[in-house]
Amino acid sequence: MTSLRDLGERRVIQIMEHSFGTDTRTIVGFGDDVAAVKLSDNKLAVLKTDMLVGSTDIPPGMSLKEAARKAVVANVSDLAAKGVRPIAGLVSLGLPSNLTKRDIQNIAAGLEGAAKEYRFPIVGGDTNESRDLTVSIALFALARRRQLVLRSSAKVGDIVAVTGEFGCASAGLRAILKQRIRRHSLPSKLAQAVYKPNAELELGIALAKCKALTASIDSSDGLALSLHELSQASDVGIEVTHVPVSKTARKYAMRYGYEANDLALYGGEEYHLVVTVKPNKFNIARRATHGKLITIGSVTSKFHGVRLRKVEGYSEIPMKGWEHFKS
C-alpha cells in the first residue's frame, strides 16, 4: 500500500486535482499560489487557504501569538505573489482541550494583529477540538482578470529576480534544532526570519501595478523548489548565475560547517517573491521595490529545469525544498 511518505504533498495535490475536475468559471485552479473564479468578464474572486499545524509548523520558542500571526503571513504571501490585496479572511481553529483561556486570547491577538498589519478584517470562521493545534486561514480578494501575475507566463530572455536574500530562516531553524541555541542567543536576523517573518504584500502589489513581471511565485517552500515550479509551469529553463545568500546565513554556514548555497536554496519558510521580469522594464520594477529586487539569473531555452552556471559549466539545482509527508 502506497503511503503518504511515498507520495509527498505534491502528489496528494495532483490526486485531489484529478478528482475535482474543472469548471468553466475557474480561471486559476490547482498549480498556482491562489485560485481564481470568474465573477464577470473582467472581475475575479481570488481565494487562498493555508493552515498551520502545531507539531510541524511551530518551532521551539515560538509563542502562540506568533504562531497565529505566522499562519496569516503564509496566506498573505501567496496573494502578494499574485499582486492582490486580501479584503476579508476566515479562520478555522482546531484546539487541544488542554489550552487555557490565556492561550486562546494569545491566538486571537496574533490573528487580529496580523489582519490589521495587512489591512483586512477577519469576519468569521469555525472552532473544533483536535489533538494538535491547527490554524487554518482562508482569504478572499478581488482582481481584474489581467491583474494576476501567474507562474505560467515566463518568457525566454526574462530576468529572474527575487525580493530579498535567503538562508536566514533555514540557518535559524538549524541553530535552534541542531545546535540547541536558545532564541535570545540567535543573531537578530535569524530570530526575525524564524519567529516574525513578513509577507511582502506591498512589494507584490507594486510589482503587479508596474506591469513589468511575466511570472511570480511565493518562495515559502524554498528558493530551488520555487524556481522549479516557475520552470515547469512556464515550460522554460532557468539559468541561475547568483545565489542570493544573506551575510548572516553565510556566517552561520561557515561556523557550523554547512554549505551556504544549500541554506539559501533548499530551506523554505522565507516569504520573498521570486519573479521573472521583462528585460526592458527591469529598472521600472526595481524602482517599484525601492531597489530591493535582486537579479539571480535568466529564463532560457537552452535546457529545461534549473541549473547554476559556474566557471566550469552548469550544475543541476535539484527540485527539493519543504514538502509535507516527505520532510
DSSP string for 75-91: HHHHHHHHT----EEEE
Same domain (yes/no): 266, 307: yes
Number of structural domains the chain divides into: 2
Structural domain includes residue 121: yes
Same domain (yes/no): 164, 108: no
Q: Work out whether the CA dihedral 17, 323, 169, 58 comes out positive or negative.
A: positive
Same domain (yes/no): 49, 129: yes
Total residues belonging to the chain:
327
Same domain (yes/no): 131, 174: no
- Per-chain mean pLDDT for the chain: 93
pLDDT digits (tens, 9 = 90+) for 125-175: 999 999 999 999 999 999 998 889 999 999 999 999 999 999 999 999 999
Across residues 218-235, what is the average pLDDT?
Answer: 96
pLDDT over 70 for what percent of the chain? 96
Structural domain includes residue 153: no
Contact 29, 120 (CB under 8 A): no
Same domain (yes/no): 94, 223: no
pLDDT of residue 250: 97
> What are the DSSP calls for 120-135, one per residue?
--EEEEEEEE-SS-EE
Supply the range of the domain harboring residue 66.
Answer: 4-144
pLDDT digits (tens, 9 = 90+) for 94-132: 999 999 999 999 999 999 999 999 999 999 999 999 999
pLDDT(7) > 80: no
CA 201 vs CA 52, 71, 72, 149, 311: distances in Å? 20, 15, 12, 13, 37
Structural domain includes residue 132: yes
For residue 252, give the CATH number of its domain: 3.90.650.10
Same domain (yes/no): 221, 305: yes
Same domain (yes/no): 26, 168: no
pLDDT digits (tens, 9 = 90+) for 184-221: 999 999 999 999 999 999 999 999 999 999 999 999 99
Among 93, 110, 144, the domain boundary falls at 144
Structural domain includes residue 151: no
CA 91 vs CA 56, 115, 125, 126, 144: distances in Å? 19, 11, 5, 7, 26
Structural domain includes residue 150: no
Contact 279, 157 (CB under 8 A): yes
Global pTM reads 0.92
Integer-rounded Cα Rg, in Å, for the chain is: 20
Residue 312 pLDDT level (bands cut at 50, 70, 90): confident
Structural domain includes residue 131: yes
